[in-house]
Structure 1
């Protein structure tokens, strides 16, 4: 649904066209966002040209998916590219979470399903295990519950590269990968410097998140919200996912698109120079330097059981 208010980009090599700005689902269930406002935000975003919807099985105990599901009634589902994420690492847990997400969203399928919070080096091995979550994803895709498969993470670019490596070893190619892409990222454990070039080479759709880090980046007093969004849009992203918890932040996203022009090397460097000191230690990217953002660390049961053969190995060793 192209509009003059939005830019549209290709999603990797899927052949899909998606809005350059995506609506972040987590914000739809924050305490200060009631259900009528959440529905209004989603529908207004779609009416104005945003087609990419982000969500996750674990966002605020499912409330974010439930609210988005209500907003996508009355014909709105057909206007969007719907993505959600699940945490399960075992086939059994992943299959359960997939079905729960579909019920909450009130849909028969999602366009994109992603493995959420790939934060640990063992995560790829658990997912690609014969008893792992990939099997649930592939079965869901086979029966039409899922169209494309990706993964997300916010901790360390080396873990993203490891996920790609383990996928290669198993003969699998992801359609998308999601990661923090912001003006601070360039200075500390940078996804933009290490992961993005690899994804471009592989033609995997690049989903940027934490472009404002829920406003944390603005507390550095070095950049504006529009500058943050322009920086992320200037990277080879298919989509920049940003949270919208008010009509003002929704308008801000459209203002960023309206005023965006490809940045020169000099303009990028000027922005990075302004943020270099603030970004040098990861202080304004706590998702990299703390476990505060790690839902699966605080709720390890979301991951499911370790593969049975590994449990047997442990039993034999004891």
Structure 2
């Protein structure tokens, strides 16, 4: 297994991480989801991704079961919350702690930063960030990050608002793949800022749940190699079977840094298919936007905003 440092945290994490959504899918038997997590840890993968909203909690419940029997001590555990208010974020975090059956979560991230208003709600005095800071102070969480898949400019806005409040995130999660380089690119716009400030880079959607592969321009291993070749701390990839775990491990074992010509050749192959975002629907549609379909997860708007309304 290849290991890297998670930004300025000095935590050592596996370059490949287990995606939490897939292990809780209804089509995946619970025992299979648990076995995937344990086998991944046994094979050296220590970074575990999850979210409060994945599969109505099934993903966290299965991961909690998988971490019993000493596996928790060998894992760097991350989950995400959707709440924008302090009250809702606290509720979701407490639920995640119960489902995962742990006292401390290594990393909690503000999930689906998709709207330009999200940062202002989160950093409001009644916002979700206050909840995470309190949780960190009491030892319930260790690090704080955020995720999003819609637009790199929204990521930059989140970083800017955080800076206004004197806060620097420990991690940022975003799409990094062979097509992102051509369209509304997180790689070109956000990645340099994260490297500059030594923020841990969590790459996701290297294959976009297989959608990128439908373009027939890159293989699964090429997709993983490209993401690994970027200055990522972790490339999170979905695994709904032992075969997918094997594929991820194979990609790590066969990875060598890609030269400029190799990168250019791969990008040339994907340029046409990537030009309009067709194979990155998480950027161009609301299909991947769970909070858009469940706005109640976000919680109430800040009182100061409500008071302005007629």
TM-score for the superposition, normalised by structure 1: 0.97
1:229-244 pair list within 5 angstroms: 229-244=224-239
Deviations 1:38-91 (A, max 9, x none): 011000000000000000000010000000000000110000000000000000
Match for residue 276 of structure 2? Answer: 281
Corresponding residue number in structure 2 for 1:183: 178
| Rounded Cα–Cα distance in structure 2 between residues aligned with 1:216 and 1:69 | 29
1:9-20 aligned at under 5 Å gives the runs 9-20=4-15
Aligned match of 1:135 in 125, 130, 133? Answer: 130
Partner of 1:3: none
Report runs of 4+ in structure 1 exceeding 2 Å deviation: none
RMSD, matched Cα: 0.4
Shift of the alpha carbon at 1:30? Answer: 1.3
Structure 2 counterpart SS, 1:45? helix
Deviation at 1:212, TM superposition (A): 0.8
Which residue of 2 is the match for residue 158 of structure 1?
153
Match of 2:255 in 1: 260
Out of 43, 48, 51, the position equivalent to 1:56 is 51
Partner of residue 99, structure 1: 94
Listed one character per residue, the Cα deviations across residues 179-236 of structure 1 (whole Å, up to 9, x for unaligned) are 0000010110000001000000000000000001111110001110000000000000
1:286-297 equivalences in 2 (<5 Å): 286-297=281-292
Q: How many residues align?
A: 310
1:34 and 1:231 map into 2 onto residues whose CA distance is 31
Q: Distance in 1 between matches of 2:281 and 2:103?
A: 36
Task: Quote the residue 1:195 is aligned against.
Answer: 190
Cα offset for 1:309? Answer: 1.0
Cα shift readout 1:94-122 (whole Å, capped 9, x = no counterpart): 00000000000000010000000000000
- Within 2, Cα distance between the matches of 1:112 and 1:179? 15
Gaps of 5+ in 2: none
Q: Shift of residue 21 of structure 1?
A: 0.1
Q: Secondary structure at the match of 1:13?
A: helix
Q: CA deviation at 1:31?
A: 2.4
Pairwise CA distance, 1:143: 0.4
C-alpha distance in structure 2 between counterparts of 1:185 and 1:250, whole Å: 24
1:212 to 194, 197, 207: 207
Q: Deviations over 1:128-175 (max 9, x none)?
A: 001100000000000000000000000000000000000010000100
Aligned equivalents of 1:134, 1:178: Cα separation in 2: 17
